[in-house]
Amino acid sequence: MELTGRVALITGGGSGIGRAAAQRFAAEGMRVCVVDIDAHAADTVASSLGGLGLQCDVSDPDQVDATFVACAGELGSVDLAFLNAGITVHWSGDIGTLDLADYRRSVGVNLDGVVFGARAAVRTMRTLPADSRAILATASLAGLVPWHPDAVYALGKHAVVGLLRSIAPNLAAEGIAVHTICPGITETGVLGDRRVLVERIGVPVMEPDAVADAALTAATAPLDDTGTCWVVQHGKPPWPMTFTGVPAADQRLNTPVRPTHSP
């Protein structure tokens, strides 16, 4: 989609990958709405870019709906929704000792936050017709491969990949492209103090700008590329994941679903 003069809403935009993406989209001439549970961080990033900062907990559907309405009200549109907010709770691969409150918190942000965000984005976009729009979400390499250190994180990120691949064909007829960004380890708050640990075992750590580049690639990709998962790895340009097909009669059910009614 064409970005100049359009509106981007970025969740988790107060730091890390979201902040880098907000800066990248603003540099492309977009007006940005920076959304974060940390109001000060959202305002700081937004004001540095002449944008709008909004506080929102993406795990609360009412807050998410209100945030999209506020963005459209203040900035006139939501053309690009980058559903990027995410957390790691703690790296514990032992399912036997999983704390269920941690589990709910992880899934609440990493999965519910994307479901609520995609739903609100589509509803808002339907009230503001335009030729081209896009919804992006940050999953992770842990959405494509097993992630033994934090299986619940992998659960949420695999779910985001499946969700976005599933909704993409449904939204193409409305000119809404859908892409997933799957970064490897990146120097941000999610990584915390683990950089030394991961580099010691030979895992290169990317800067958030590399992921912002991938978000820009996805946002500007042709509509025909909708449903792509962009893998982002250290020292490489973003590349589209190829999924192995499963030949099955069940695939006959996989025809795009059209909207049944406007909200």
Give catalytic residue positions.
Answer: 153
Residue corresponding to tokens 């700081």: 44
Nearer Cβ to ligand NAD (91/256): 91
CB of 187 to ligand NAD, least distance (A): 7
Pairwise CA distance, residues 182 & 185, whole Å: 10
Quick note: the x/- pattern for ligand NAD over 128-147, rule CB under 6 A, is ----------x-x-------
- Pairing label, strands 229-232, 239-240: antiparallel
Question: What's the closest the beta carbon of residue 221 comes to ligand NAD, in angstroms?
Answer: 19
**Single-letter code of the amino acid located at 102:** D
By CB under 6 A, tell whether 106 contacts ligand NAD. Answer: no
Residues listed for the chain: 263
When asked if residue 54 is in the footprint of ligand NAD (CB under 6 A), the reply is no
Q: Which residue type does 88 have?
A: T
Among 3, 7, 8, 17, binds ligand NAD (CB under 6 A): 17
Number of residues located near ligand NAD, criterion CB under 6 A: 29
CA distance 148 to 68: 35
Closer residue to ligand NAD in complex, CB, 36/43: 36
SS3 197: helix
Which residues, other chains included, contact 84 with Cβ-Cβ below 8 Å and sequence gap of 6+?
10, 11, 12, 13, 17, 18, 21, 136, 137, 138, 181
Query: Which of 8, 32, 37, 164 is the binder for ligand NAD (CB under 6 A)?
Result: 37
Stretch that binds ligand NAD, among 14-22, 91-99, 221-229, 234-242 (CB under 6 A): 14-22
Question: From the CB of 7, what's the least distance to ligand NAD, in Å?
Answer: 19
Q: Does 77 bind ligand NAD (CB under 6 A)?
A: no
Site for ligand NAD in 154-193 (CB under 6 A): 183, 185-186, 188-191
Using DSSP's 3-state secondary structure scheme, residue 137 falls into strand
- Nearest to ligand NAD by Cβ — which residue? 86
State which of residues 84, 124, 180, 226 lies at the interface with ligand NAD (CB under 6 A): 84
H/E element holding 126? helix 113-127
CB 175 within 8 A of CB 126: no
- If one asks whether residue 53 binds ligand NAD (CB under 6 A), the answer comes out as no
Determine if residue 235 is left, alpha or beta; phi over 0 gives left, psi from -120 to 50 gives alpha, anything else beta.
left
Among 18, 53, 227, 238, the residue binding ligand NAD under the rule CB under 6 A is 18
Torsion sign (Cα): 26, 37, 137, 8: negative
Bridge pairing between strands 52-55 and 7-11: unpaired
> Which residues are at the interface with ligand NAD (CB under 6 A)?
11-12, 14-18, 36-38, 41, 56-59, 84-87, 109, 138, 140, 183, 185-186, 188-191
